[in-house]
């Protein structure tokens, strides 16, 4: 009937581990994202090059992640970027660029006036 008989599968032994070497977060943005991922994905340790989907992430978790990014950083992140940038390093770089751009726009719009 095309369905998977889960009872016929052999038991899973051991832990699923990443083939990538662990690289710890290198800045505050990466650290904040790592903590969010740990909470969402229920994992103890997340490296900056670990893949969101390989760690068990899915579309509903992406929406939760976007909501947490909005709360933590005050920026909106399009969903499509999270399908393209699947690791913390790439997402952190995008967030830092958006934050820097927002800061640059503010400084360009307002000029200091002395009275």
Question: Does the residue 7 lie in any domain?
Answer: no
How many domains does the chain divide into?
1
Question: Does the residue 8 lie in any domain?
Answer: no
Question: What is the structure's pLDDT at 16?
Answer: 53
Q: Which of 43-74 are b and which e, b meaning 16 or more Cβ less than 10 Å from the residue's Cβ?
A: eeebbbebebeebebeeebbeebbebbeeebe
- Domain with 55, as residue range(s), is 18-108
Question: What is the structure's pLDDT at 19?
Answer: 59
Question: What is the structure's pLDDT at 71?
Answer: 96
Each residue's pLDDT expressed in tens, for the chain with a length of 115 residues: 667 777 777 765 555 555 578 999 999 999 999 999 999 999 999 999 999 999 999 999 999 999 999 999 999 999 999 899 999 999 999 999 999 887 655 555 556 667 7
The reported pTM is: 0.73
**Long-range contacts of range 26-34, CB-CB < 8 Å, 24 or more positions apart?**
27/92, 27/96, 29/73, 29/92, 29/95, 29/96, 30/88, 30/89, 30/92, 32/72, 32/73, 33/69, 33/88, 33/91, 33/92, 33/95, 34/88
Question: What is the structure's pLDDT at 61?
Answer: 94
- Backbone φ and ψ of 109, nearest 5°: -80, -30
Question: Does the residue 33 lie in any domain?
Answer: yes
Question: Does the residue 93 lie in any domain?
Answer: yes
Question: Does the residue 9 lie in any domain?
Answer: no
Question: Does the residue 113 lie in any domain?
Answer: no
Question: Does the residue 98 lie in any domain?
Answer: yes
Question: What is the structure's pLDDT at 70?
Answer: 96
Q: Which of 2-13 are b and which e, b meaning 16 or more Cβ less than 10 Å from the residue's Cβ?
A: eeeeeeeeeeee
Question: Does the residue 4 lie in any domain?
Answer: no
CATH code at 64?
1.10.1200.10
Element (H, E) at 17: none
């Amino acid at each position: 009937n095309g369905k998977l008989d889960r009872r016929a599968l052999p038991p899973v032994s051991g832990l699923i581990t990443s083939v990538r070497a662990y690289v710890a977060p290198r800045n505050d943005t990466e650290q904040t994202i790592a903590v969010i991922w740990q909470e969402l994905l229920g994992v103890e340790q997340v490296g900056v090059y670990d893949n969101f989907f390989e760690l068990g992430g899915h579309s509903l978790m992406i929406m939760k992640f976007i909501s947490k990014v909005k709360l933590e950083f005050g920026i909106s992140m399009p969903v499509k970027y999270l399908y393209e940038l699947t690791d913390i390093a790439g997402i952190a770089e995008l967030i830092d660029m958006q934050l820097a751009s927002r800061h640059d726009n503010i400084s360009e719009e307002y000029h200091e006036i002395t009275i």
